[in-house]
């Protein structure tokens, strides 16, 4: 049997294919097995083959910082900007895991530092976001420097500017670097209209206010333009409260969506939730509700996109993981669904619904593996 047709399959045993598992080349890239990757490429493996989770081998190598495999893939025709609607490009992946070495390789191969991911924004935003996943600020700063030197737009608001995000996470060294590199601290957050210095003051980070103050233009509504004056003004204003008109509109759209769900008009409900998201793109419950609608009308991939957005906004909310598990189950990625449900159970150990969903996913995974083994046995006979 020729080798080339086999190496591009995800898993093949008597015709059974687990479409959401990485293909062999993706597995080799993920684990850093350069010899195996070279063998597969020499026998016809496609370096741009996407798996069921939207990952190409280059994403997999960038995720774990497997630089030798990355160089090999790029030398064999891997697309440096291969894109997925919710995973983004390999540059997004390297940025989100704080892998500066991988990021440099991609930039040296002319990866686009300003490509926008529908879910997470630009690579620069993802690099700053990585600190909430445990990446150190020093590793984040290394990635930020590489991206800025490669031409990343420091003032792009997709969905927030880098300075806004850095202020949200309290990244003093990143803020200093961005300001020195020419980032504009006067661009407000699109959602609530607050500038980085107001965000820093609102979170009680005086050090950040002091860093931003010399670069920030006086704000007309702040009566005393000084570090203490800004902090006092922000405390009195309760900047975290959203605009009442916007909140009323969101509440109305959310109510209409809930009513449509009761009537099993999931397509209609999805439209209402989409409009509500335009009003408040930071409300995780809206993505959760719309994800349910996507799932009910068979749009599992869109449901997964919304579940990932939900988790990004509220990483400690079990429902986001529950929604993601359901989407992965619909996509037949039972192993990943099991892992996701386990994460949900850690957050809400008492939820019977999550426990039941987990065991259903375990049973489905076992059934799939049994079928695979049975098919393999039949083939060998």
pLDDT digits (tens, 9 = 90+) for 55-112: 899 999 999 999 999 999 999 999 999 998 777 999 999 999 999 999 999 999 999 9
Residues 127-155 have a mean pLDDT of 95
6 pLDDT band, cuts 50/70/90, is very low
The pLDDT value recorded for residue 22 is 72
CA dihedral 189, 191, 193, 197 (to 10 degrees): -40
CA–CA separation, 367 and 359 (whole Å) = 12
The pLDDT value recorded for residue 1 is 35
Quote the mean pLDDT of the chain.
Answer: 88
HSE (side-chain half, CA atoms, 13 Å) at 262: 6
21 pLDDT band, cuts 50/70/90, is low
| CB atoms inside a 10 Å sphere around CB 47 | 22
Residues 318-334 have a mean pLDDT of 93
365 pLDDT band, cuts 50/70/90, is confident
170 phi-psi bin (left φ>0, alpha ψ -120 to 50, beta other): left
The pLDDT value recorded for residue 236 is 77
Residues 160-178 have a mean pLDDT of 96
Q: Which helix (H) or strand (E) holds 311?
A: helix 300-313
With residues binned 3-state (H G I as helix, E B as strand, rest as coil), the percentages for the chain, rounded to 5, are 60, 0, 35
Contact indicator for 181, 226 with CB cutoff of 8 Å: no
- Check pLDDT > 90 for residue 381: no
The pLDDT value recorded for residue 152 is 97
Contact indicator for 289, 280 with CB cutoff of 8 Å: no
The pLDDT value recorded for residue 86 is 74
CA–CA separation, 128 and 106 (whole Å) = 18
CA–CA separation, 53 and 185 (whole Å) = 37
User: Which segments of 133-188 are extended strands (E)?
Assistant: none
Q: Which residues contact 102 (CB under 8 A, 6 or more apart)?
A: 61, 62, 65, 66, 67, 70, 90, 94
The pLDDT value recorded for residue 8 is 47
Percentage of the residues of the chain whose pLDDT score is greater than 70: 90
pLDDT digits (tens, 9 = 90+) for 243-293: 666 788 899 999 999 999 999 999 999 999 999 999 889 999 999 999 999
CA–CA separation, 246 and 202 (whole Å) = 21
The pLDDT value recorded for residue 168 is 94
CA–CA separation, 208 and 158 (whole Å) = 22
Domains of the chain plus CATH, in order, are 154-241 (1.25.40.20), 244-374 (1.25.40.10)
For the chain, the C-alpha Rg in angstroms (whole number) is: 23
| CB atoms inside a 10 Å sphere around CB 154 | 21
């Amino acid at each position: 049997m020729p080798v080339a047709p086999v190496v591009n399959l995800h898993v093949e045993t008597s015709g059974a294919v687990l479409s959401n598992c990485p293909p062999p080349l993706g597995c080799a890239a993920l684990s850093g097995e350069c010899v195996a990757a070279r063998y597969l490429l020499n026998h016809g493996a496609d370096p741009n083959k996407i798996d069921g989770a939207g990952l190409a081998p280059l994403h997999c190598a960038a995720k774990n910082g497997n630089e030798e495999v990355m160089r090999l893939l790029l030398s064999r025709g891997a697309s440096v900007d291969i894109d997925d609607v919710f995973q983004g490009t390999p540059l997004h992946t390297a940025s989100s895991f704080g892998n500066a070495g991988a990021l440099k390789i991609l930039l040296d191969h002319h990866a686009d530092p300003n490509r926008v991911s529908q879910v997470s924004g630009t690579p620069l935003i993802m690099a700053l976001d990585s600190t909430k996943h445990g990446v150190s600020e020093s590793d984040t700063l290394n990635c930020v420097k590489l991206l800025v030197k490669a031409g990343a737009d420091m003032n792009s608001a997709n969905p927030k500017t880098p300075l806004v995000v850095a202020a949200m996470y309290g990244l003093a060294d990143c803020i200093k670097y961005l300001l020195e590199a020419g980032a504009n601290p006067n661009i407000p957050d699109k959602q609530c209209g607050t500038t980085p210095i107001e965000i820093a003051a609102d979170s009680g980070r005086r050090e950040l206010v002091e860093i931003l103050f010399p670069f920030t233009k006086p704000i007309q509504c702040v009566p005393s333009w000084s570090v203490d004056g800004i902090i006092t003004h922000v405390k009195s204003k309760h900047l975290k409260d959203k605009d009442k008109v916007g909140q009323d509109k969101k509440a109305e759209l959310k109510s209409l969506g809930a009513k449509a769900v009761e009537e099993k008009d999931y397509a209609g409900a999805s439209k209402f939730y989409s409009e509500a998201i335009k009003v408040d793109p930071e409300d995780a419950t809206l993505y959760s509700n719309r994800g349910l609608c996507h799932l009910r009308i068979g749009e599992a991939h869109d449901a997964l996109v919304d579940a990932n957005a939900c988790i990004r906004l509220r990483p400690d909310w079990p429902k986001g993981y529950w929604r993601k598990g359901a989407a992965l189950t619909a996509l037949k990625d039972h192993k990943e669904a099991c892992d996701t449900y386990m994460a949900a159970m850690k957050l809400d150990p008492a939820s019977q619904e999550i426990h039941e969903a987990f065991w259903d996913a375990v049973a489905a995974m076992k059934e799939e593996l049994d079928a695979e083994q049975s098919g393999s046995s039949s083939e060998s006979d």
